[in-house]
Amino acid sequence: MIAGAEHCGPGGCKLRIAGVSKVFDGRRGKVVALEGINLNIRGGEFVCLVGASGCGKTSLLNIIAGLEFPSSGVVELDGEPVTGPGRDRTVMFQESALFPWLDVMGNVMFGLNLVPGLTRGDRLAMAEKNLELVGLKECAHAHIHELSGGMKQRVALARALATSPRILLMDEPFAALDAMTREQLYQDIQEIHLRCGMTIVFVTHNMREAVCLGDRVVLLTPHPGRVCEEYFVDFPHPRDINSSDLAALSSRITRDLKGATA
């Protein structure tokens, strides 16, 4: 059970993606990764991006984060164009990317050290609250090498949440974990999202995972990546990934993906 979620911070912000295309220079010429992506994401919405390898899911996530720039089109947050990284957006990757020379508390405090106007006491209190949020308050001074894969991802999630981002961008964060650990994290991230109200954009290859977590699932086609279909998921939370209703919808999305890539 997640505790302390009342400390999550502000709700999500509206995200507008208009006409976004991305072209890379490849060894054999231009590679069109994304073409004409148009999406409007409501504040507080949980949107999952799915599709086959090469459909540009991660490129789109990086563009939203401000880590890459579109070749054409625009990304706006609450009407303001994205021109680079910002504290209103935080990225959580498949690998936890924790600093092994810092303990759990040091990792969660890392981003807070870059936030102006906070005392050390403020940063400690915020880090403790976010460790409590992900169920790791008792592990604050553990070394990173002492943690399981699931615990490392919890630390990474606490670090991502610590600066109270308005948009959390998640790039296959549970892909490397065992099934039991993933199922527990599915429950936790649903509860955190329901309590915090931030906007989440989540990249995954796992259709069931997408249906379990998302308010909306956006299917991208590969070569180049285009929006093929959108699925609004109205099952109540918390959702069980083993539910037959989830399985039926995820199977439909998989069939649509196969049809789009045939």
Beta-bridge partners for 186:
none
Q: Which residues pair with 175 in a beta bridge?
A: none
User: Which secondary-structure segment (H or E) carries 75?
Assistant: strand 72-77
Asked if residue 67 is part of any domain, the answer here is no
Report if residue 146 sits inside a domain. Answer: yes
Token pair of 92 as six digits: 């959580």
Q: DSSP letters of 177-231?
A: S-HHHHHHHHHHHHHHHHHH--EEEEE-S-HHHHHHH-SEEEEEETTTBEEEEEE
- Structural domain including 150 reads 102-163
Q: Is residue 254 part of a domain?
A: no
Dist CA 164 CA 120 (whole Å): 17
Whether residue 37 is contained in a domain is answered as no
pLDDT of residue 222: 87
pLDDT at position 211: 97
DSSP string over 123-159: HHHHHHHHHHHTT-GGGTT-BGGGS-HHHHHHHHHHH
- Edge-to-edge strand order for the sheet containing 89-92? 89-92, 167-171, 199-203, 46-51, 216-221, 226-232
DSSP 3-state of 139 = helix
Q: Classify residue 136: in a domain, yes or no.
A: yes
Which of 122, 196, 118, 124 minimizes the C-alpha distance to 157? 196
pTM: 0.91
Number of domains in the chain: 1
Q: Which residue has the tokens 């890539």?
A: 261
pLDDT tens over the chain, length 262 residues: 344 444 455 556 789 999 999 999 877 888 899 999 999 999 999 999 999 888 999 999 999 999 999 999 999 999 999 999 988 899 998 887 899 999 999 999 987 887 888 888 998 999 999 998 888 988 999 999 999 988 999 999 999 988 888 899 999 998 888 888 889 899 999 999 988 888 999 999 999 999 999 999 999 998 899 999 999 999 999 999 999 999 999 999 999 988 877 6
